[in-house]
Amino acid sequence: MPKIAEKYQVSHFLVFYLIHSLQFGVGVLGFQRIITKSTGQDAWIPVVLSGLFSHLMVWMIYKILKGAEGNIHDIHLRIFGKWAGKAINLLISLYFTLLAVEVLRTYMEIIQVWMFPDINLWVFSSLFLLLVYYIVSGGFRVVTGICFFGVVLPSYLIFTFIFPLEFAQWKNLSPVFDHSLMDILSGTKGMALTVLGFEALLVYYPFIKKPEKSQIWAHGAIFFTTCIYLLIMIVTLVFFSSEQLQKNIWATLTIWKIVEIPFVERFEYIGIANWVLIILPNVCLVLWCASRGIKQTFNWSQKKTLIGIIALTLLAVNLFETREQINQFNTIVGMTGTYFYLYIPVILILQLVAKRMKKQGGTG
């Protein structure tokens, strides 16, 4: 891939916002029940372990990309050849499209359940994706700006988790380490799927100025995200009993119901409405990655490709009607994310082997 012109690149510190904006999405509103199902009061441990796992994955991603010319799509074409490489690149674009469908459909479900039961999903999703097209067609720098504001503007919401501490039952955190290793690993797997998103770095790496300097910001984003998830999990554990938590699909929204502000009666409505500022960068960035991958692989126009992907996304988000269907789809996307995680060390090993063989061939 030819080097990206500097006018299309972003400063290396903005990787912090790109990674955090994808890791911190709609899953924050209900991840607690999934993790505590297997780990109970030890649910904070999988949060920490998933953070460490994410650090390892990001380290591997930089190991893959440093010294490689281009991004993951170029690496595939070099290692697997033209046809197999294109097929794998197409699967990666499909994966990012599925992430967009998952995020948008889950958010639409929350709006349906908590705010507007009779909302016209076709109208909402069409308007939302029209805005996404406007942003993504502006290029990667515009998408990065949306990610920046998607982190900064809703950041005040973190202070709402102070309110539940008035009713905290700290004894809910004990006994500590009361679950088996398999239970902890099961919870860690669920948490790892909640923080999907940093793998997009494999696609937008060439769009970073001085990318070798961005690694510290990438790890900083992982650490920051882990700390926020850990805070929310601990607040949840001391506020709910284990039985209550298993009955709450969206524990974060239930916590917001107790927030009392003189000029706001139902703060969860404010939280849900503000969450669109977090969801928008999620969808924009993954659809940019999906369209960029197809443009790079097949040399198609990115804007025309984006129109096709958005049309596909629009149809997909309106296919699911019941909670069971949405859950099943989210499970499939989660499993796909697991395979992607497992693929990262595989591609690292393959690249190292290819480099060694090339070096030996050159010296021979």
Confidence of residue 282 (pLDDT cuts 50, 70, 90): very high
Q: DSSP 3-state helix, strand, coil percentages of the chain (rounded to 5)?
A: 80, 0, 20
| 300 found inside a domain | yes
Q: Report the pLDDT value the prediction gives residue 355, as an integer from 0 to 100.
A: 78
Query: Residue 70: what pLDDT?
Result: 84
Question: What is the CATH number for 88?
Answer: 1.20.1740.10
Q: For 197, list phi and psi in degrees, rounded to 5.
A: 140, -35
Q: Would 202 be classed as within a structural domain? A: yes
Q: Which residue has the tokens 């129109």?
A: 307
pLDDT for 2: 67
Q: Give strand pairing partners of 261.
A: 264
Which tens digit of pLDDT belongs to each residue from 302-334? Answer: 999 999 999 999 999 999 888 889 889 988 888
pLDDT tens readout for residues 201-218:
999 999 999 898 999 999
Q: Is residue 1 part of a domain?
A: no
Residue 267 included in any domain: yes
Sorted by sequence, the CB contacts under 8 Å of residue 189 that are 6+ apart come out as: 338
pLDDT over threshold 90, residue 242: no
pLDDT > 70 fraction of the chain, expressed in percent and rounded: 98
Split into its structural domains, the chain has a count of 1
What is the pLDDT, as a whole number, of residue 208? Answer: 94
pLDDT confidence tier of residue 269, bands split at 50, 70 and 90: confident
What pLDDT band is residue 246 in, cutting at 50, 70 and 90? confident
From CA 175, how far away is CA 171, in angstroms rounded? Answer: 8
Of 103-117, 160-174, 208-222, 287-301, the least confident: 160-174
Residue 195 counted as domain residue: yes
What is the reported pLDDT for 1? 63
pLDDT of residue 293: 94
Amino acid at 132: V
Q: Supply the pLDDT for residue 55.
A: 95
Residue that the structure tokens 């692989």 belong to: 297
> By residue range, what is the domain housing residue 322?
6-363
pLDDT value of position 176? 84
Instruction: Give the pLDDT of residue 191.
Output: 86
| Cis peptide preceding 154, ω within 30 of 0 | no
Greater model confidence, 321 or 13: 13
Would residue 109 count as lying in a domain? yes
Residue 79 located in a structural domain: yes
* Averaged pLDDT, 266-275: 88
Rounded Cα gap, residues 31 and 19, in angstroms: 19
Judge whether 32 lies within some domain. yes
Q: Give mean pLDDT, residues 102-123.
A: 92
Q: Which residue has the higher pLDDT, 280 or 2?
A: 280
Confidence category of residue 37, pLDDT binned at 50, 70, 90: confident
What pLDDT does residue 361 have?
65
Assign 268 a pLDDT band (cuts: 50, 70, 90): confident
**Tokens (6 digits) for 80:** 């697997």
Residue 5 carries which DSSP code? P
Which DSSP string do the residues of 192-219 spell out, in sequence order? HHHTTTGGGHHHHGGGBSSGGGGHHHHH
The CA-atom distances, in angstroms, between 95 and each of 92, 100, 193, 333, 342 are 5, 9, 13, 8, 14
Of 65, 71, 59, the closest CA to residue 4 belongs to 71
E strand intervals along 275-344:
none
Alpha-carbon gap, residue 104 to 304, rounded angstroms: 21
Q: pLDDT by residue (tens digit) across 139-178?
A: 999 999 999 999 999 998 899 898 888 888 888 888 888 8
Largest CA distance in the chain: 77
Spatial distance between the Cα atoms of 27 and 75, rounded to a whole number of angstroms: 31
**74-78, 186-190, 238-242, 255-259: which has the highest mean pLDDT?**
74-78
Q: What is the Cα gyration radius of the chain? A: 21
